[in-house]
Amino acid sequence: MYRLSADTAVISTVDFITPPVDDPYWFGQIAAANSLSDVYAMGGRPILALNLVMYPSKVLDMGLLKEILRGGHDKVVQAGACMAGGHSVDDNEPKYGLAVTGVVHPERIWTNAGARPGDALVLTKPLGTGVLFNANRSGKLAYRDLEALLPDVAALNGPALEAARRFDVHAATDITGFGLLGHCLEMARASNARVHVSYRSLPFYPHAAAMYRRGETTGSNAANRNAVAGSWELRVKLSAVEEELLFDPQTSGGLLLSVPDPQADELVRSLRAAGVGAAARIAEVTAGEPASVSVG
């Protein structure tokens, strides 16, 4: 039994996704990791989860749903939390996710506000899942090439959280559907700061750029670009493909952590030692025009 005390705050989040892959077990794992990430991004530890299921039970075999739920259950157990039931509705398209309850010390809650000039931003997972999932559906990317990346996509952000707790995290978020620039701009606005992204420092999944070169895209790229219009500037020459990667919507993306610049390199080393191999220092928070992002 978990007992709450005066130094414990409860945080609750809800998230679900449509199938990024056809394999139901991988779908369950990725969706659960995506949902659990919302608690990790606040500095919290998940303790309880509820299944959220939307499923066309008259169209799809219920055995597929069993595998989806098994994937979600296994990921929740891996996170050290308890699966406590859930809710289901009949729907035309399968969707799955979790309502997650977590705990955190009330004075150590991370938000996307608080980034300060002189901070560096560290990213813990590669970018590019949006175009990769779409390319697999359209037949441009073989499933065997996508499958090799799924363990990283479905990886929990828990190890990254544990490593980062030893540092002075001023602000944090996770990179999801709004793409890298969208979430950087959210942090800049919430912190009344300016974020400068170093494009050549960004980690990308294999094949992501190649899929954009082959004409693949996502339904969110244009909307993500429009959402930051007028609030970002490009200070380096990028190809059209390289630009698109900035707006690629992520599923189960990494954490974006704002820490004092002198701590950033040590944080990256600690993350990699904890198994977060793609961790990279990707940006800095600067003085200047606030609530904006530049890419150089």
Decide which of 104, 133, 150 is a domain's last residue.
104
Q: Is residue 269 part of a domain?
A: yes
When pLDDT is cut at 50, 70 and 90, the band that residue 1 belongs to is very low
CB 296 within 8 A of CB 236: yes
- Residue 144 and residue 68 share a domain: no
Q: Is residue 109 part of a domain?
A: no
Residue 178: CB atoms within 10 A of its CB come to 21
- Residue 158 and residue 257 share a domain: yes
pTM of the complete model: 0.95
Total tally of structural domains belonging to the chain = 2
Task: Write the CATH number for 133.
Answer: 3.90.650.10
Torsion sign across C-alpha atoms 243, 244, 245, 249 = positive
Q: Is residue 148 part of a domain?
A: yes
Mean per-residue pLDDT for 262-274? 98
Residue 5 confidence (pLDDT):
59
- Residue 150 and residue 71 share a domain: no
Q: Is residue 110 part of a domain?
A: no
Q: Is residue 46 part of a domain?
A: yes
Under DSSP, is residue 118 helix (H, G, I), strand (E, B) or coil?
A: coil
Q: Residue 229: left if φ>0, alpha if ψ -120 to 50, beta else—which one?
A: beta
Q: Over the stretch 146-189, which tens digit does the pLDDT of each residue have?
A: 999 999 999 999 999 999 999 999 999 999 999 999 999 999 99
Structural domain boundaries, residue 73: 9-104
Torsions phi, psi of 284, nearest 5?
-135, 150
Over 70: is that where the pLDDT of 4 sits? no
- Residue 272 and residue 172 share a domain: yes
Task: Write the CATH number for 88.
Answer: 3.30.1330.10
How many Å apart are CA 264 and CA 167, to the nearest integer?
9
Helix (H) or strand (E) holding 14: strand 9-17
Q: Over the stretch 210-247, which tens digit does the pLDDT of each residue have?
A: 999 999 999 999 999 999 999 999 999 999 999 999 99
Decide which of 69, 104, 139 is a domain's last residue.
104
Torsion sign across C-alpha atoms 182, 241, 268, 174 = positive
When pLDDT is cut at 50, 70 and 90, the band that residue 289 belongs to is confident
- Residue 100 and residue 132 share a domain: no
Torsions phi, psi of 254, nearest 5?
-85, 175
Residue 290 confidence (pLDDT):
84
Could you give the angle at the alpha carbon of 202 between the alpha carbons of 198 and 204, nearest 5°?
155
- Residue 133 and residue 100 share a domain: no
Decide which of 104, 131, 150 is a domain's last residue.
104
- Residue 243 and residue 268 share a domain: yes
- Residue 167 and residue 136 share a domain: yes
Over 90: is that where the pLDDT of 67 sits? yes
Q: 294: which strand partners? A: 196, 233
How many Å apart are CA 49 and CA 58, to the nearest integer?
27
Q: Which of 144, 147, 166 has its CA nearest to residue 274? A: 166
Residue 10 confidence (pLDDT):
84
- Residue 124 and residue 94 share a domain: no
Q: Is residue 114 part of a domain?
A: no
Over 80: is that where the pLDDT of 2 sits? no
Beta strands across the sheet bearing 45-55? 9-17, 95-104, 45-55, 82-90
- Residue 80 and residue 125 share a domain: no
Q: Taking all residues of the chain, what is their mean pLDDT, rounded to a whole number?
A: 95
How many Å apart are CA 137 and CA 130, to the nearest integer?
11
- Residue 144 and residue 82 share a domain: no
Q: Is residue 4 part of a domain?
A: no
Over 80: is that where the pLDDT of 28 sits? yes
Over 50: is that where the pLDDT of 69 sits? yes
How many Å apart are CA 151 and CA 109, to the nearest integer?
28
Q: What share of the chain is helix, strand, coil (3-state, %, to 5)?
A: 35, 25, 40
